[in-house]
Structure 1
Amino acid sequence: MPRFIKRFATALASASVLALAAAGPAHAQEIRIGALYPLSGGLALLGEESFRGTEIAIAERNAAGGINGQKITLVKADAVDANQAVGEARRLTSVENVVAVFGSYASGVSSAATQVTELAGVPYFELGAVADTITGRGFKYVFRSNSTAKTFASRSVESIVQVVAPSLKADPKSLKIAIVYEDGPY
């Protein structure tokens, strides 16, 4: 089983246990989990691939008996920007009554959606967005399984010093680098 799927399955089990504990003694026939990704627009390809990973993890978990014998049902939501993220997070938490939300790949989408899920008391598991602020706001119900932008930056500098410079037989201080970035939460 790929490492991503194992990490996701662990996060899924944790989310479901948290959500079931919060739901009380009444047990539904299924556990509804939201999947919030940019499924259209400029990030659609990456959003669709991320969603497919979520589908695979859910299918594997269901094949292994679900959670406490209950089948997990995935509720799909498309959010290409912060406004759609807010609307879809509201729909997932209040209309679809999901017990947790997984998403979203995009930092702007995640930053907006997690504000809604936090207020609703619904756990949100970020699987790909890197903006430090997503988990840096002190929210109680927001979790992340991936690295942050700050971690990526420090590891990039570390690799220039420890890998790139030695392979070029150069002093790291003599290297010139360029930083290319986008002007957004990513």
Structure 2
Amino acid sequence: MNTRLTGIALSALMAGAAAAGPAAAQDVEIGAVMPLTGDLADFGETSSKGVELAIKEINAAGGVLGEDLGLSIADTRTSPQAGVDAAKKLVNVENVAGLVGALSSGVTIPIAKSVSSQEGVPQISNASTSPVITNLEDNGYLFRTIPSDQLQGVVLGDIVYDEGVRSVAAVYVNNDYGEGLAEVFKSQFEKRGGKVTTMLPYEKGKASYRGELSNAASGDPDALLLVGYPENGITILRQALEEAYFDQFIMTDGMKTPKVVEAIGGQYLANTIGSTPTAFDTDGAEAFTKAYQDEYGSLPPKPFIDTAYDGTYLLALAMQAAGSTDGEKVRDALHDVSNPPGVKVGPGEWAKALEALKNGEEVNYEGAAGPHDFDENGDVPGIIEHWTFTEDGGVKTIRKVTGGGA
């Protein structure tokens, strides 16, 4: 596979691709806007593997439009401006025909507004869950392979109330993701009869959050809801424990990584109530897991890897179905290849998809994370995992929930 790295330092993930030297020019190329540094770097590296795995499979089974599918990856640094700059370079210099990413909603939205919708380049985020995205003015070019936090927030509100928690202080990263998810949680939790005692946004990059935590602890709520990312979230958790402000924590997808429990200690986090969008239990999920393990080893207990893989497959399928890399045609074809009717194709079935399209049949991709039936807003259905950390430093699934709203 030809991988072009744009304006970033190579991570260990990309060492093998770098050894092969710069990529040759590709007739068909996509870009990935990933946080290989910054707050979400822990997820950016693994999401990039999901993209790479899909491309390796596609190229091994015939490529796209008769050509190998090329890949350029650019680092968003989990920064809105850096993300926009990275996307502009991918689109205007590398001439990519589609984008996978970004992860943070606070980065994805500016890219959609300033780049993909303006340049006519389809963009599929594998991790951006802000409810704002649903009605964003994006000319139909922004899609996502992960459900809106309109679902996650409702399900989490139900889970927390059902676990016996009656009062919560919410601390959230000050961006579209943090605010959107915290607001939906608050609405559902209070609908159930709970009370959110405070809603406090926090700024990234601070050495101390003791002031915010002191305010959050006022009124002695039962638990702290932390909607954030590992880099600053670990600091918040550590200081909450050091000052004995909280010993019960609620976390969301941005904090679901072994990095958190390794930094804090499982003995302090074993009662965590966590939520994240997750994969449906399907044959596609099993096939993806096996393929990932064969290529990279054990699949990490982190979100967004399978959805990055699916976003890549969907872009490639849309190009093949459209017979073109023209942005408008690919945008429209994304709805066709993601929805029934059509021959069902899943992870590792690129050759089957090519054969069906060659025969004039429609295809319906059901992916590693499940079905991605894009609606008119580019949104998909979903399922939410209730998870927790374990005393021995692991991450454990409690159950999967298909909906909320009691």
TM-score bracket for the superposition, by shorter chain length: 0.7 to 0.9
Q: Which runs of no fewer than 5 residues in structure 1 stay unpaired? A: 1-27, 166-173
In the alignment, what sits opposite 1:111? 109
Q: Secondary structure at the match of 2:58?
A: helix
* Residue identity (%): 34
The alpha carbon displacement at 1:118 in A equals: 0.7
Q: Highest CA radius of gyration, 1 or 2? A: 2
**Alpha-carbon distance in structure 1 between the residues aligned to 2:37 and 2:26:** 31
| Structure 1 segment 139-154 matched on structure 2, within 5 A | 139=138, 140-154=140-154
In the alignment, what sits opposite 2:75? 78
8 Å Cα contact 1:135-1:144 kept in structure 2: no
The alpha carbon displacement at 1:102 in A equals: 0.3
**Alpha-carbon distance in structure 1 between the residues aligned to 2:26 and 2:169:** 54
Q: State the Cα deviation string for residues 137-163 of structure 1 (Å, max 9, x = none).
A: 1421111110112211011123345x5
**Alpha-carbon distance in structure 1 between the residues aligned to 2:45 and 2:119:** 26
Identify which of 157, 179, 184 aligns with 2:170: 179
8 Å Cα contact 1:135-1:142 kept in structure 2: no
Structure ranking higher on relative contact order (CA contacts 8 Å, 6+ apart):
1
8 Å Cα contact 2:26-2:70 kept in structure 1: no
In the alignment, what sits opposite 2:92? 94
2:136 aligned partner, one-letter code: R
User: In the superposition, relative to structure 1, how do residues 122 and 50 fare at CA in structure 2: closer, same or farther (>3 Å)?
Assistant: same
The two structures, once aligned, show a CA RMSD in angstroms of 2.0
User: In the superposition, relative to structure 1, how do residues 136 and 178 fare at CA in structure 2: closer, same or farther (>3 Å)?
Assistant: same
8 Å Cα contact 1:130-1:149 kept in structure 2: yes
8 Å Cα contact 2:101-2:125 kept in structure 1: yes
8 Å Cα contact 1:135-1:143 kept in structure 2: no
Q: Kindly indicate which of the two structures has a greater share of residues assigned to helix.
A: 1
The alpha carbon displacement at 1:29 in A equals: 5.5
**Alpha-carbon distance in structure 1 between the residues aligned to 2:62 and 2:98:** 19
2:57 aligned partner, one-letter code: E
**Alpha-carbon distance in structure 2 between the residues aligned to 1:30 and 1:100:** 13
1:86 aligned partner, one-letter code: V
8 Å Cα contact 1:124-1:141 kept in structure 2: yes
**Alpha-carbon distance in structure 2 between the residues aligned to 1:95 and 1:130:** 29
Q: TM-score, normalised by structure 2?
A: 0.35
**Alpha-carbon distance in structure 1 between the residues aligned to 2:73 and 2:51:** 10
1:107 aligned partner, one-letter code: S
8 Å Cα contact 2:124-2:143 kept in structure 1: yes
State the aligned residue count: 150
**Alpha-carbon distance in structure 2 between the residues aligned to 1:41 and 1:158:** 32
In the alignment, what sits opposite 1:125? 124
Moved more, 150-159 or 97-106: 150-159
Q: Kindly indicate which of the two structures has a greater share of residues assigned to strand.
A: 2
**Alpha-carbon distance in structure 1 between the residues aligned to 2:134 and 2:51:** 20
2:157 aligned partner, one-letter code: V
Q: Secondary structure at the match of 2:117?
A: helix
In the alignment, what sits opposite 1:64? 61
**Alpha-carbon distance in structure 1 between the residues aligned to 2:61 and 2:122:** 23
Q: TM-score, normalised by structure 1?
A: 0.73
The answer on 1:42 being equivalent to 2:33 is: no
8 Å Cα contact 1:114-1:142 kept in structure 2: yes
Q: Secondary structure at the match of 2:112?
A: helix
